[in-house]
Amino acid sequence: MNILVTGGAGYIGSHTCIALMEAGHSVIIADNLCNSKRENIEKIMDVAGKEVTFYEINVTDVEAVDAIFKNYKIDGVVHFAGLKAVGESIEKPLKYYYNNIVSTMVLTKACKKYGVNRFVFSSSATVYGNNKVPFVETMDLLPATNPYGETKVMSEQILTDIANVNPTLSVSILRYFNPAGAHESGLIGEAPNGIPNNLMPYVTQVAKGKLEKLRVFGNDYPTIDGTGIRDYIHVVDLAEGHVAALENLTEGVHIYNLGTGKGTSVLELVRAFEEANGIEVPYEIVDRRPGDIASCYADASKAKRELGWTAKRDIIAMCWDSWRFEKNYKE
Ligand code: NAD
Ligand code: UFG
């Protein structure tokens, strides 16, 4: 299939482009590089050993998107392009609503115009809010605590409403848990701008000596050691989940958790990193981060049952691969 991957130069998108090409598909990337680098496109081609077609466009731009659909026979869209910084979304809500919602509308409209019936969307476990763990796809969603989360809830609703009146359209909504790790080549991985918000890139930058110590946000949660529990999933497993979702799409809307089903606390992750890589990660306990919940992990059984997909790589592999990428990475 010819797959249009929006946001394909980014962290999860780049790994998914490789997995798609390994599965025999052709990839067209549309990315405006607002949170990624052009060199990622070269790296994707190096790792996959295949060419990709790259369009440097903003996917909220109707004409630029239309031109791609006109030029290529697109068989499916995987829509990663989005802004994802929770804190920034509170300060700049309009930027987030516009980018994340309009992009979904522009792309679905182009799909309708050109008869493209496969659409895979990047959602997030954030849509569950502070539900009881493990999170199951059938749960009622709780109001998001920030505009970023709202854009995921709204995009899910928009896609569901469109699919309901377009019976030939097949939509897969993938709710990711916490992506970590990097490609085993060490060439692509997560390279956040500025100081990382997320735990794993923060840990690798402390290990590299770029940051002095990790600040652990709270040790008084009702968890095994008081620190927050998350379901870390290797980004290559996540990428393979997209291939499975795309290849097993049937008409209608399907929602899948992409997680491992296993929770890991902040301190467990720090210890796993130290053990895997033989490097000490200094840390201090500080106050809770506003908006954080105690525990977030998936019931991952639906994806296994319906897509035949499960995560294969464990937290140690995530620590190895994240560290290999960080060691190699030059700004
Ligand atoms: P990323 O920032 O590395 O990748 C997103 C890519 O989209 C970037 O290359 C960026 O340049 C591009 N982009 C953004 N807006 C665009 C636009 N309007 N037009 C064209 N390109 C645009 O992020 P990621 O971690 O790879 O996340 C991919 C998707 O998964 C996002 O939608 C994100 O919200 C979602 N998600 C991420 C996580 C996570 O923890 N990383 C968790 C849940 C969901
Ligand atoms: N944490 C620290 N110190 C840090 C960073 C994080 O202690 O410097 C802790 C957090 O308090 C939390 C855990 O590490 O307990 C994970 O935090 P992340 O910031 O890595 O991830 P979150 O679960 O907060 O959020 C991530 C994405 C969101 C997405 C959500 C659910 O950043 O975009 O997963 O998928 F919505």
Catalytic annotation present for 72:
no
Q: Name the residue at shortest CA distance from atom 29 of ligand 1.
A: 80
| pLDDT reported for residue 142 | 81
228 ligand 2 Cβ < 6 A: yes
**Both tokens of residue 17?**
């482009």
**Both tokens of residue 6?**
């929006």
Q: Which ligand is nearest to the CA of 38?
A: 1
What residue ranges of the chain have pLDDT lower than 70?
Answer: none
Pocket test for ligand 2, best of 90, 292, 319 (most atoms within 8 A of CB): 292
| pLDDT reported for residue 12 | 98
Distance 198 CA to ligand 2 centre (A): 5
Q: Which domains does the chain have, with CATH numbers?
A: 2-180+233-259 (3.40.50.720)
Q: Name the residue at shortest CA distance from atom 10 of ligand 1.
A: 35
Distance 199 CA to ligand 2 centre (A): 6
Distance 124 CA to ligand 2 centre (A): 12
- Nearest ligand 1 atom to alpha carbon 12: 26
**Both tokens of residue 75?**
């068989």
Inter-residue contact 261 to 299 (CB < 8 Å): yes
> Which of the residues 11, 55, 128, 148 is marked catalytic?
148
| pLDDT reported for residue 289 | 95
Q: What is the pLDDT of residues 209-264, one digit of tens each?
A: 999 999 999 999 999 999 999 999 999 999 999 999 999 999 999 999 999 999 99
In the 3-class helix/strand/coil scheme, how is 198-255 assigned residue by residue?
A: CHHHHHHHHHCCCCCCEEEECCCCCCCCCCCEECEEEHHHHHHHHHHHHHCCCCEEEE
- Nearest ligand 2 atom to alpha carbon 202: 8
134 ligand 2 Cβ < 6 A: no
Indicate the pTM of the whole model: 0.98
| pLDDT reported for residue 193 | 84
Distance 100 CA to ligand 1 centre (A): 9
Any residues with CB less than 8 A from the CB of 5 and at least 6 apart, and which? 13, 16, 17, 20, 27, 28, 29, 30, 77, 78, 80
Distance 312 CA to ligand 2 centre (A): 22
